[in-house]
Amino acid sequence: MRIAMIGSGYVGLVSGACFADFGHTVTCVDKDERKINALLQGEIPIYEPGLDVLVNGNRFAGRLSFTTDLSSAMKDVDAVFIAVGTPTRRGDGHADLSYVYAAAEEIAALLSRYTVIVTKSTVPVGTADEVEAIIRRVAPEADFSVASNPEFLREGAAIDDFKRPDRVVVGADDERAREVLRKLYRPLNLNETPIMFTNRRTAELIKYAANAFLATKITFINEMADICEKTGANVQDVARGIGLDRRIGSKFLHAGPGYGGSCFPKDTMALVRTAEQYQAPTRIVEAVVEANAARKKRMVDKIESACGGSVKGKTIAILGLAFKPETDDMRDAPSLDIVPGLIDRGATVQAHDPQSIKEAKHLLPDSVIYCDDPYLTAKDADAVVIITEWNEYRALNIERLGKALRRRVMIDLRNIYKSEEIVPLGFDYTSVGR
């Protein structure tokens, strides 16, 4: 089948490359000429394991192409996916749908045969209805359907999530649209992947509900970690003890500095605003949003306490800046609260991250010193703080790290080490909830 993918960012590029790998012919469209030119040269604008091989392999096979010209991309297509950004709107917390609606207007002017327009972007309930209304207004005679097909891609594991998903959710109100989506996802039949068909509004809400629930699990175990620190309990054992209950499950029960990334912060906030709009307040999600924001800021207090009550005049080595490992994504990362907070309190910050330094330089204070490896980062520092659990930080030579530090102080905000491993080497060791 032939597909146009509007938006060549994280969702659009991964989805387009995976659909091409399924055997479909995909054209990814973006208004950013530099991004398209880079992709045409084989350069991938984001870090996602395996994406470079997948994109360039399908590009050379002729199944995946890139352009800034939507009209050429839409020629004879069966489906057009809208995969543009829906960031938090400044001032009110709602999702900014201006890019989605602009794409709908452009699509409407180019429809020439029956086409399914699919919202892949994360959008509030009712967005597909508005997309349909826009297209009907611009092209009242057009033959089309609108469907919702939310993505459930984890950064760092997106290709596997697309090709071997837990489920595919399709919101469509007519059988022609459902049949097109069945054909697009037919390769997943080999894996017996459940394809769940709902109405459009249900599909839109499923995405928000899923992210809000996962964010709630993270926030819950973080609050349990605070209780553990006060009472002498161990949050990792608490998490295991409740996670073995199949009704609860073990996923997303890892205490840390709070959630970040491109999805959870904006999607929980958008769900809160949607609930307010429909006068169905979500008190639990509201509390999650507030608790997570406060937690990231409290991590500065935790670091300062571990450093003897003050970081003024001290050098702090930060390991990990991205919101999670295996990505260069800095959006709403805990480091964006922690690093400026330390600097505001008089610390000098030296930082390392395997992938996100280029992005971090645009977001963190200019005074941050960036280093090429963890041991250079720790050189002459008064403490080392692990913020992101990259694999290379899990296998550090602790003795070498200790020799580089001025003082052997480690604040492990991801609990990747154990005190019995670190303390015998002369470290003051602080973790989360233990």
Asked if the model's pLDDT at residue 189 lies above 90, the reply is no
pLDDT tens digit sequence for 309-319: 999 999 999 99
Point out the annotated binding site.
30, 35, 86, 122, 152-155, 207, 252-256, 260, 266, 324, 331
Sequence spans of domains, the chain:
2-198, 234-434
Please, which pLDDT band fits residue 91 given cuts at 50, 70 and 90?
Answer: confident
CATH number of 234-434: 3.40.50.720
The pLDDT score that the predictor gives to residue 175 is 96
Cβ atoms of 146 and 119 closer than 8 Å: yes
How would CATH label the architecture of 2-198?
3-Layer(aba) Sandwich (3.40)
Q: What is the mean pLDDT of the chain?
A: 96
Are both 2-198 and 234-434 of the same fold? yes
List helix spans (H) across 139-199.
158-163, 175-184
Average pLDDT of span 91-115: 94
pLDDT at 93 over 90: no
**Residue positions forming the annotated binding site for NAD(+):** 30, 35, 86, 122, 155, 266, 331
* pTM for this entry: 0.93
- Nearest-angstrom CA–CA distance, 54 and 14: 9
- Amino acid letter, 39: L
What's the whole-number mean pLDDT along residues 149-154? 95
DSSP H or E stretch at residue 59: helix 51-60
pLDDT category of residue 92 using cuts at 50, 70 and 90: confident
Cα–chain-centroid distance for residue 170?
Answer: 21
Residue 351 has pLDDT above 90, yes or no: yes
pLDDT above 90 covers a percentage of the chain that reads 96
* Per-residue pLDDT tens over the stretch 97-108: 999 999 999 999
Write out the binding residues for substrate.
Answer: 152-155, 207, 252-256, 260, 324
Report the catalytic residues.
263
pLDDT in tens, 267-288: 999 999 999 999 999 999 999 9
Predicted confidence band of residue 83 (pLDDT cuts 50, 70, 90): very high
| Distance in angstroms (rounded) separating the CA atoms of residues 253 and 232 | 19
* pLDDT value of residue 262: 86
pLDDT of residue 293: 96
Q: Print burial letters for 268-290: b (CB count within 10 Å at least 16), e (below 16).
A: bbbbbbbbeeeeeebeebbebbe
Distance between CA atoms of residues 347 and 429, nearest Å:
19
